[in-house]
Amino acid sequence: MGYAEYFNLEREPFSNAPNDKFFFNSDQHNQALLRLMYAVDSNKGLAVLVGGVGTGKTTLARRMLDNLPLDQYESSLLVMIHSGITPVWILSRIALQLGVKAPDNDPLRILKQLYERLLQIHDEGRKAVVLIDEAQMLQSRELMEEFRGLLNLEIPGKKLLNVVFFGLSNLEQSMKLDEPLAQRVAVKYTLKPLSAETTHSYIAHRLRVAGGEEMLFEESAIDKIHKYAGGVPRLINTIADNALFETYLRHDLIVSEAVVDSVSEDLGLSNPISFQPVSTQSAVVSAVPEAQPDGDDQNDLEAIDTMLQGFQEG
């Protein structure tokens, strides 16, 4: 018998494995999603979400992807798994995921293919959106210049591509490698740790989703979980999961403050993490207007080459 069955739960409530059923729509996550959806729906071009480790950026990225219906958006989610990514890889992957059938090996031709595909998406009455998770891995000026070039793919009065970066706070330093790109951030939001009150709601929510009918934690135990985790959802899950297991091993029926202290010490969290309250304020920066390319020559490869040179100079 595992602890889920012992506590009459349908499943373990605090796994850190991605599971949409357990999505907790806190006020700040709701505010973040509203702002990011506004950015892409209004064709703002570039939006950025930053937050510390374990604050829910990846969960929010997947949630946003699920909120982009196919009849209105051509969307894609790319996860940057290492810092050795090249501009050509980024360009070809974005082209492929947005519907380019066979991206060319030459970056200029890929860009031409992508531009033509973006025009098709526009003619269908839809918007193109690329979500980039773990965007702090984009650590070169060349990569940032590539995104600046992609954001310059326009028709008169309208951007053809929207990009949303999800990353750790050092993403902002990476973006400054190409200052013109950093200046084009139209919407920015920062995820903060959960407050003590929200931590209580978060734990209760996950227990309900797991089929629990009773609160399995003492109030003081949840307060301690919040302090040890510093309000970070991933750490809250880890501590709560271990605390339930330890309580099961002790044949108790409710998680005590002493159990939380014990498992937190075992996890190397013997000193409670300092906590900063949640702020739902976001920074909104006006995008810098860019010169629009000549629409008469867009289908010509030579014109694309000229346009690219202009992007890099801009």
The partner residues of 50 in beta bridges, in order of sequence, read 167, 190
Q: Calculate the alpha carbon distances from 260 to 116, 166, 196, 243 in Å.
A: 57, 32, 15, 6
Cα distance between the two ends of the chain: 64
Instruction: Answer positive or negative: Cα dihedral of 296, 299, 303, 308.
Output: positive
CB neighbour list of residue 162: distance below 8 Å, 6 or more residues apart: 39, 40, 43, 44, 45, 46, 47, 127, 128, 129, 130
Tokens 């970066």 correspond to 165
Domains of the chain (ranges plus CATH)? 27-192+280-313 (3.40.50.300), 195-275 (1.10.8.60)
The C-alpha atoms of residue 233 and residue 294 are separated, in whole angstroms, by 48
pTM of the model: 0.81
- Give me 91's structure tokens: 């360009």
Cβ proximity of 22 and 163 under 8 Å: no
d(CA 166, CA 164): 7
For the chain (length 314 residues), average pLDDT per consecutive 10? 93 91 92 96 96 93 94 95 88 95 91 96 96 94 94 92 96 92 94 96 97 96 97 96 98 97 92 46 31 38 44 41
Residue with tokens 């060349």: 142
Q: How many CB atoms lie within 10 A of CB 147?
A: 25
Closest CA to 304 of 109, 99, 142, 102: 109
CA 38/CA 134 separation, integer angstroms = 21
The token duo for 165 is: 């970066």
Structure-block tokens of residue 128: 């193109």
Cβ–Cβ under 8 Å, residues 166 and 62: no
**For position 20, what pLDDT does the model report?**
84
What's the alpha-carbon Rg for the chain, to the nearest Å?
Answer: 23
